[in-house]
Chain A
């Protein structure tokens, strides 16, 4: 049987030269993200913004979006977002948070149930008051900050300083670019998005660690090899695995995007993007970063040449 090979054996591809494109590209996207984050902002879902979200489905199978919009706007509960999704007459309606504290939110649900209840089935109703949404923002932010700190500690124990710095830059890069994805695509940002970002942090680190494990191994073996060459070698050695894992992960995420249903699609799309970004950053950001940070601590550089040659 002929087996599939996604990456040739014994490759000697020069990955490091990508940095001439990848560094400016990532810098531009990061800056763009920062600017857009400050001007346009994230499209917060009700978890973080508060308010009411309803998903209703027409009992007849045919939803009249225009009519729903008109009626809902007539309620006087502020700006209403009405969107059709799926194929079976499913409509989502989003009401902003109401003035008058926690109790005021319940009136929205009641009014909508009374109005649309006859023709539509209420499949999902979620109301988040101002206090809970505030707390969710807090715990979401803490989650991301904490994960970065935890990763820092992990890397501090696990790797030499230079490798740790390069991988934390890679992880931060992936967080920024994931947030950029949310900002640019206007993808809804909610608690599940935080889960996606944290999972991406884990995956990103995973990718870098696998490459750097190899880098460290090769550093011991080829004591005088220049950083650029050494890093290229590490990536070439691990490329086969990187592609395999990225593919299997992407395949299962693809299954989620295609069949997982509307509620989980958003998460899967972000993760799919994240897998691509993490693979890219491990190869084109964290690794070449080491050329500038300096791969070897002072003691490694001092190793006499003859000894290194003997090791090979």
Chain B
């Protein structure tokens, strides 16, 4: 019998109403949502009030998506320099000398210690450098960060293992995320999203950003600041570094670092009171102030070299000892440059260079147009399908149409609760499910018609139609689900938005096209007691 118990009706209607209510916040814009949340009396528990809304993808609200990759080569170079320093220190501590100094080889360093007795002293210390890979909390994953190889003639090679490098990269990504967050926040951009992607990447998404040039400039710099001295003629321990605004001319700079970016406690853009030039004021911590004070006292009259990412950005002459722990960087900067510089100094240095591997920016105009076009297409598709279904199945078509509208509403409701991102392909997905959602109804109705033609009574035809079509509905929805799931796991960004809509659409269609339609038909039958099918 075509029966639908009272409790079942209440349950179905309740589920649908809750689902539709959840979509309400998404139908409002930000101000309306705020007003609505404020209007709810405070005695209503907050979990009872639907407040979550669909997030619009960057392709709809406009904004910038920048994918950065940690430069593993750059990172490795830095790590090898550290390793070199460690080995040098150990050699000094153990009073062992390497025959040909410390050679840099691929992925590591090499020394030559022919005396077995020397090696015996040296090796335990070197082995301390090789730490096990992995987090102690999570258990050791096996293997060390550094491999140590010794040949019988005394050549010792220390190289970073694959696992060691990967671990450094992983750590560098974590550190970079922190640094990037500080830098992006400092620019005053709203709601940036910064997240790890894969092993060696960081995805930065900034809604509303039209020209990511400044962002890219900020993220492209490592931000490694050093205070050194310009070398005096005849000095040997020097680096030849390019000087900013000197046409690529290189100047000799002492290798010794007086103080570095990590010693700064603050950096602010300002104007020089005398020259009206944009400058950066900075302040050292105690250690930095002490070392800086000492160096400026000892080197009066010499030129300081302020080095940012291996480029001399300013070389002021030391006029008087700077012992107060603060100072300024001046140079031929624009206002924007000093702003960026101050941000770079405040946020600290990145552990390695970041390379932009993908950038996608959508202007707000295009985003708005896409939303409008998407709405239009959704309405038109709904109208087409509704008219067509009604023209074909009459009253039953009307039932299917109600189910269809509920289905679309439920997709929005589910997306709101999940705070899923609606993208342009996602809108296409909604429009497409408008076409495919009625498939379940079509399968049922065609089956009912067949059963009726085979001579069944109206009730038994409807019953058999639902029962027999159900297996096919499950089948046809699971085939679509297979494709959608694969798309979800492989796709990224906008395309994934399409998959999300499609998967949710498959879930809701079973509720609406099967349960809801069945309920409407059952109620119709009980009220009208029809003698024939309406189609």
Neighbouring A residues of B484 by C-beta, 8 Å? 198-199, 202
What per-residue 1/0 map shows which CB atoms of B431-444 lie under 8 Å from chain A?
Answer: 11011101100110
- Give min CB distance, A215 to chain B, whole Å: 12
What per-residue 1/0 map shows which CB atoms of B473-493 lie under 8 Å from chain A?
Answer: 001101111111011001110
Interchain CA distance A241-B502 in the complex, whole Å: 21
Mark out the residues of chain B between 322 and 358 whose CB falls within 8 Å of any chain A CB in the assembled complex: 355-358
Known interface pairs A158-B475, A191-B495; A199-B374 also in contact (CB < 8 Å): no
CB of A150 within 8 A of CB of B388, answer: no
Determine, out of A33-41, A76-84, A249-257, the stretch whose residues face the partner at the interface: A249-257
Interface centre among B360, B494, B535 (most CB of A within 10 A): B360
Chain A residues proximal to chain B, CB less than 8 Å: 1, 3-6, 9-10, 55, 57, 101-103, 105-106, 109-110, 113, 121-129, 131-132, 139-140, 142-143, 146-147, 150-151, 154, 158, 191-192, 194-195, 198-199, 201-203, 205-206, 209-210, 213, 237-238, 240-241, 244-245, 247-256, 258-261, 263-264, 267-268, 271
CB of B486 within 8 A of CB of A126, answer: no
- Give min CB distance, A302 to chain B, whole Å: 27
Mark out the residues of chain B between 182 and 220 whose CB falls within 8 Å of any chain A CB in the assembled complex: 210-211, 213, 216
CB of A237 within 8 A of CB of B450, answer: yes
Interchain CA distance A192-B266 in the complex, whole Å: 47
CB of B384 within 8 A of CB of A254, answer: yes
Known interface pairs A146-B486, A260-B431; A255-B355 also in contact (CB < 8 Å): no
Any A CB within 8 A of the CB of B282? no
CB of A199 within 8 A of CB of B483, answer: yes
Neighbouring A residues of B366 by C-beta, 8 Å? 55, 123-124, 263
Known interface pairs A102-B356, A121-B363; A241-B442 also in contact (CB < 8 Å): yes
Known: A249-B436, A259-B373, A261-B377. 19 other contacts (CB 8 A): A3-B393, A3-B394, A6-B392, A113-B211, A123-B363, A123-B365, A129-B355, A140-B490, A146-B486, A147-B486, A251-B384, A255-B377, A255-B381, A256-B432, A259-B380, A260-B427, A264-B370, A264-B427, A264-B428
CB of B435 within 8 A of CB of A248, answer: yes
CB of A205 within 8 A of CB of B385, answer: no
Known interface pairs A3-B393, A3-B535, A198-B487; A210-B436 also in contact (CB < 8 Å): no
Neighbouring B residues of A123 by C-beta, 8 Å? 362-363, 365-366
- Give min CB distance, A311 to chain B, whole Å: 15
Interchain CA distance A124-B153 in the complex, whole Å: 62
A-B contact pairs, 17 of them (CB 8 A): A102-B355, A106-B216, A139-B491, A143-B486, A146-B486, A147-B482, A191-B492, A198-B486, A202-B480, A205-B483, A210-B443, A213-B471, A247-B388, A249-B439, A258-B380, A264-B373, A264-B424
CB of B356 within 8 A of CB of A261, answer: no
What 5 pairs between A and B have smallest CB-CB spacing? Answer: A261-B373, A252-B435, A202-B483, A255-B381, A252-B381
CB of A195 within 8 A of CB of B487, answer: yes
CB of B431 within 8 A of CB of A255, answer: yes
Interchain CA distance A276-B453 in the complex, whole Å: 29
Interface residue SS majority, chain A: helix
**What's the count of A-B pairs with C-beta under 8 Å?**
237
Known interface pairs A3-B394, A129-B356, A202-B482; A256-B428 also in contact (CB < 8 Å): yes
Interface residue SS majority, chain B: helix
CB of A150 within 8 A of CB of B432, answer: no
Neighbouring A residues of B486 by C-beta, 8 Å? 143, 146-147, 150, 198
Interchain CA distance A110-B359 in the complex, whole Å: 13
Interface centre among B356, B360, B385, B446 (most CB of A within 10 A): B446
CB of B392 within 8 A of CB of A249, answer: no
Interchain CA distance A110-B211 in the complex, whole Å: 10
Any A CB within 8 A of the CB of B405? no
Mark out the residues of chain B between 452 and 505 whose CB falls within 8 Å of any chain A CB in the assembled complex: 453, 471-472, 475-476, 478-484, 486-487, 490-492, 494-495, 498-499, 502
CB of A4 within 8 A of CB of B392, answer: yes
Neighbouring B residues of A253 by C-beta, 8 Å? 431-432, 435
Any A CB within 8 A of the CB of B425? yes
- Give min CB distance, B441 to chain A, whole Å: 9
Any A CB within 8 A of the CB of B391? yes
Mark out the residues of chain B between 375 and 418 whose CB falls within 8 Å of any chain A CB in the assembled complex: 376-378, 380-381, 384-385, 388-389, 391-394
- Give min CB distance, B377 to chain A, whole Å: 4
CB of B374 within 8 A of CB of A150, answer: no
Any A CB within 8 A of the CB of B254? no
Neighbouring B residues of A143 by C-beta, 8 Å? 486-487, 490-491
Of chain A, the residue at the smallest CB distance from B438 is A248
Any A CB within 8 A of the CB of B67? yes
CB of A154 within 8 A of CB of B391, answer: no
Neighbouring A residues of B380 by C-beta, 8 Å? 255, 258-259
Of B358, B472, B491, B502, the residue contacting A128 (CB under 8 A) is B358
Chain B residues proximal to chain A, CB less than 8 Å: 59, 67, 69, 210-211, 213, 216, 355-363, 365-366, 369-370, 372-374, 376-378, 380-381, 384-385, 388-389, 391-394, 424-425, 427-428, 431-432, 434-436, 438-439, 442-443, 446, 449-450, 453, 471-472, 475-476, 478-484, 486-487, 490-492, 494-495, 498-499, 502, 535
Interchain CA distance A152-B486 in the complex, whole Å: 14
Neighbouring A residues of B362 by C-beta, 8 Å? 123-124
- Give min CB distance, B475 to chain A, whole Å: 5
CB of A127 within 8 A of CB of B394, answer: no
CB of B490 within 8 A of CB of A260, answer: no
Known interface pairs A244-B442, A248-B442, A267-B425; A110-B450 also in contact (CB < 8 Å): no
CB of B216 within 8 A of CB of A248, answer: no
Interchain CA distance A46-B197 in the complex, whole Å: 21
Interchain CA distance A131-B480 in the complex, whole Å: 31
Interchain CA distance A26-B432 in the complex, whole Å: 27
CB of A102 within 8 A of CB of B357, answer: yes
CB of B359 within 8 A of CB of A127, answer: yes
Interface centre among A101, A203, A210, A271 (most CB of B within 10 A): A210
Of A105, A113, A206, the residue contacting B479 (CB under 8 A) is A206
CB of A126 within 8 A of CB of B360, answer: yes
CB of A199 within 8 A of CB of B471, answer: no
CB of A251 within 8 A of CB of B213, answer: no
Of chain B, the residue at the smallest CB distance from A240 is B446
Interchain CA distance A246-B373 in the complex, whole Å: 23
Neighbouring A residues of B481 by C-beta, 8 Å? 202
CB of A271 within 8 A of CB of B432, answer: yes
Neighbouring A residues of B373 by C-beta, 8 Å? 259-261, 264
- Give min CB distance, A277 to chain B, whole Å: 15
Interchain CA distance A271-B480 in the complex, whole Å: 14
Of chain B, the residue at the smallest CB distance from A88 is B369
- Give min CB distance, B281 to chain A, whole Å: 30
Known interface pairs A132-B357, A151-B482, A202-B483; A1-B394 also in contact (CB < 8 Å): yes
Of chain B, the residue at the smallest CB distance from A102 is B355
CB of A139 within 8 A of CB of B357, answer: no
Neighbouring A residues of B393 by C-beta, 8 Å? 3
Of chain B, the residue at the smallest CB distance from A243 is B442
Interchain CA distance A198-B432 in the complex, whole Å: 14
CB of B365 within 8 A of CB of A245, answer: no
Interchain CA distance A236-B431 in the complex, whole Å: 29
CB of A110 within 8 A of CB of B213, answer: yes
Neighbouring B residues of A55 by C-beta, 8 Å? 366
Neighbouring A residues of B359 by C-beta, 8 Å? 105-106, 109, 125-127
Known interface pairs A210-B443, A249-B432, A256-B428; A154-B479 also in contact (CB < 8 Å): yes
Neighbouring B residues of A101 by C-beta, 8 Å? 355
CB of B355 within 8 A of CB of A251, answer: no
